[in-house]
Amino acid sequence: MPALRILVCVKRVPAPGAQITLTADGRAIDTRNLAFTTSPHEECAVEEAIRLVEGHGGDITVLTVGPPEAEEQLRFSISVGAQHAILVTNDRVADGADPDPQATARAITGAVRALEAEAGPFDLLLFGNESADSGGFQVGVRVARALGRPIVNGIKAIDISDAVLTARRECDDGFEVYRLGLPAVIGVKEGINLPRYPTLPGRLRSKKAEVQTIIAEPPGGGLTMVRFETPAVEVTETVLLGTGAGAAGAVVDLFYELGLA
């Protein structure tokens, strides 16, 4: 089987568990005190691409639609094993606008077509099942549809043999098994593997790597921003009712309060 040519699409997202605050107008996330990382499903997609190339040979291109700061996530992917990095951006994205799934998919589709016209088709496009911030579940499907390629989401195992990709997806009764001819598009789910950490030589290599920039001017998406809403923070309080027999009265009162007595 010939060596594989794989493209992995990733997204720069706030680090999981971070406290999210909004700007005063409620239309954007205040990023001044946030740390950023690669969306977890996509981190697993990068690792899966590395494992496939280790088994079959080939090279990996990692691509993101985002601001110039997203180079950090591209370079991290290079530090663990990717060879090429593509930043797709424009002035609106650089100013902090987060394009909706339609606009993002159009930007990626345009970049893929340009890259394939130059160097030939990718055998496999890998996406995360969904991004950790917006969770739209749409971008990979829209890109596959635009390129006319088969796609399966929610994948937890991949094997390639004789230009046929076998993918497994968990279901209530065990696994669903799909077989797709290449080129294909796969949405990877966190847990398919355990992503590796970068080595020191990998980090040094990533600092010297060239990040190609593509300026995208896609048509606008179909969504209109109104505002973000954050749920009220629930404050819990623990009250010590007492110890031993001295707590009996407080316990009885609590039972009445809860309607249990």
Of 195 and 26, more confident:
195
Q: Alpha-carbon torsion 42, 98, 213, 115, what sign?
A: positive
CA–CA gap between residue 44 and residue 110 (Å, rounded): 24
DSSP string of 173-201, one letter each residue: TEEEEEEEESSEEEEE-TTSS-PPPPPHH
Is 3.40.50.620 the CATH classification of the domain at 4-236? yes
- The C-alpha R_g of the chain, in whole angstroms, comes to 23
Of 222 and 34, more confident:
34
| Predicted confidence band of residue 140 (pLDDT cuts 50, 70, 90) | very high
Q: What is the pLDDT of residues 124-138, one digit of tens each?
A: 999 999 988 878 889
Residue 62 has, within 13 A of its CA and on its CB side, a CA count of 34
CA–CA gap between residue 223 and residue 66 (Å, rounded): 18
CA–CA gap between residue 35 and residue 18 (Å, rounded): 8
- For tokens 């530090």, the residue is 79
The whole-number pLDDT of residue 108 equals: 95
One-letter amino acid at 217 equals E
Write out the two tokens for 233.
């923070």
Of 222 and 106, more confident:
106
Is the pLDDT at 28 greater than 80, yes or no? no
Q: Break the chain into its structural domains and give their ranges.
A: 4-236
Distance, C-alpha 93 to centroid of its chain: 17
Q: What is the pLDDT of residues 50-106, one digit of tens each?
A: 999 999 999 999 999 999 999 999 999 999 999 999 999 988 887 777 788 898 999
DSSP state of 231: P
Residue 58 has, within 13 A of its CA and on its CB side, a CA count of 22
| Predicted confidence band of residue 149 (pLDDT cuts 50, 70, 90) | very high
